[in-house]
Amino acid sequence: MNRLYELVNELPPEIQQKAIDILEFLLEKRGMQSASSLKSNAKEIPISSNLKQEVKSKFFEKARRIAMARADLVRLYCQAMARAPQGLKCLIQKEFLAAYHEGKYPELYAKLGPTSRATIWRWKQKLEQTGNPLALSPRWGEHQRGHTKISEEQAKCLRAAGLKHQTMAKAIRQAKKIMRDRGVPDNLHEATYLRFLKRFRESHF
């Protein structure tokens, strides 16, 4: 039978606390033992398939709310940029971000927290590529589950750079240059490229 402790431990470390918070709420609602004692004796608490599904539903709903908030912020950003006079876009960008962090959009800030121009731009590119706001859903621990967001064209650029015997940093810089030259989107974090290159080199050298 599945156990709460096993369920939490299956999750990526960065979201285990989120899982405990949700389980705390669900267990208390059902009159079961507090989830805050998971580390000491949660192995004694069985978890039904219904409760497990309820936990997953909570995560999916949270991811959906974050995705829609990101899409709303991108929309507001694009509106601000569209109104910006020629030659003042950099200033408007700074003013938009300052207003966001100072509480102009409190509901969005409560869901998303601090962000940057580069992050908003990455979300904007993702929306333009997919046309689907749900594509902005957070992918908590995706790399730890063995999945990757790297496209095949990006992978070709990374492999071309990774085959050369050079440092990882140089390989990533070269791969990004190859992407630019080939018109391949460079829309992922360098940590994602680094993980891909490490796996590639481990299997080829």
pLDDT, tens digit, 9 for 90 and up, residues 102-147: 999 999 999 888 888 888 998 999 888 888 888 888 765 443 444 4
- What confidence tier does 68 reach under pLDDT thresholds 50, 70, 90? very high
Q: Which pLDDT score, from 0 to 100, does residue 95 have? A: 94
Alpha-carbon gap, residue 71 to 134, rounded angstroms: 8
Q: Which pLDDT score, from 0 to 100, does residue 107 have? A: 92
pLDDT, tens digit, 9 for 90 and up, residues 9-49: 555 555 555 666 666 666 665 555 444 444 444 444 444 55
Look up the pTM and report it.
0.48
pLDDT, tens digit, 9 for 90 and up, residues 170-191: 888 999 999 999 999 888 888 8
Which letter does DSSP use for residue 184 in this model? -
Q: Which pLDDT score, from 0 to 100, does residue 102 have? A: 92
Alpha-carbon gap, residue 203 to 205, rounded angstroms: 6
- Greater confidence, 16 or 168? 168
Alpha-carbon gap, residue 201 to 205, rounded angstroms: 6
Q: Which pLDDT score, from 0 to 100, does residue 132 have? A: 87
Helix (H) / strand (E) containing 199: helix 190-204
**What number is the average pLDDT over the span 188-197?**
84
- Greater confidence, 191 or 79? 79
